[in-house]
Chains A and B, each alone.
Chain A
């Protein structure tokens, strides 16, 4: 996806606000499980949103549309 979803596709729980922290912690070398547990993401529908997301917006962000 281009940008991380605001909510979990399955249960609707708000997850958007936790993405940056998740990415930063995982980049530091912590395991995904540990970070997700810390963030209180309990259900596997929400957990897969984090684990499977590929952020593509950086690939596009330097191109502006003509308006």
Chain B
């Protein structure tokens, strides 16, 4: 691969938007998919109910607990991979599972909401809910709930609760070409554009390519075929929105590592095959 460039277009607590130049679409798409399916995070995988007299069944509560993102930045370096934990009993291994607990009850006239913040870490204070105010269940008078939850590393391929990214997209960048000799400044394209990417300023048709969504409405409506919209050949935008489990830039780094290791694996398998054939 020749020269390439990466530019950070947007970055905050939740989202990172990167502009790549000179990186093939296939590689970016592999990154995008690795971010969704292969970068591991911690999520609750087993719930042992000691008590539940709430109006929600055990299964519903367990499912809700699973969907709560758990902080995983430190856990990634600490816990064993999902593949290594297949046959491990949750109660027994601190290398595979983090133990959390939830206990709550209500008085005779009390109605109380139980939140993700009430799910307390037992074995690892770093593995805790990324958000504190997700309601888990509402307890009515004289109801109680007590449970142990065990979280482990997992991947989005197994269940989407482990996916660190809620959005992971690669998009094109628009290229708007206006043939000035054909354009009669009728303004029909400006009128139809849903993103205000076109404007007649003075006596030229101005384009704002970063706003364009390549819907090509302008092309269809132009009476003189003066405008054409395509995408840039060599530039793409990768957008990743984090579930809260990992910092968004960490998701990109981890995805990159995973794609690289998959390529290494492919290469070593190929080498084996080639060697075998040479030997006959």
Q: Per a CB cutoff under 8 Å, which of B64, B141, B163, B167 touches A6?
A: B64
Asked if A16 contacts B140 (CB within 8 A), the reply is no
Q: Per a CB cutoff under 8 Å, which of A8, A14, A16, A61 touches B111?
A: A61
Range, interface on chain A: 20 to 34
Q: What 0/1 readout, one digit per residue, does chain B (27-44) give for beta carbons within 8 Å of chain A?
A: 000000000000000000
Asked if B139 contacts A61 (CB within 8 A), the reply is yes
Range, interface on chain B: 20 to 34
Asked if B138 contacts A3 (CB within 8 A), the reply is yes
Stretch at the interface among B1-9, B126-134, B183-191, B256-264: B126-134
Q: Per a CB cutoff under 8 Å, which of A2, A3, A12, A58 touches B243?
A: A12
- Provide the main secondary structure of the chain A interface: loop
Report the separation of the CA atoms of residues A63 and B56 in the bound assembly, to the nearest whole angstrom: 11
Whole-angstrom distance between the Cβ of A41 and the nearest chain B Cβ: 12
Q: What 0/1 readout, one digit per residue, does chain B (109-137) give for beta carbons within 8 Å of chain A?
A: 00100001000000000000011111101
Can you report 15 residue pairs joining A to B where beta carbons are below 8 Å apart? A2-B55, A3-B56, A3-B64, A6-B67, A8-B166, A11-B166, A12-B166, A13-B243, A16-B68, A16-B131, A17-B133, A20-B135, A57-B137, A62-B140, A64-B55
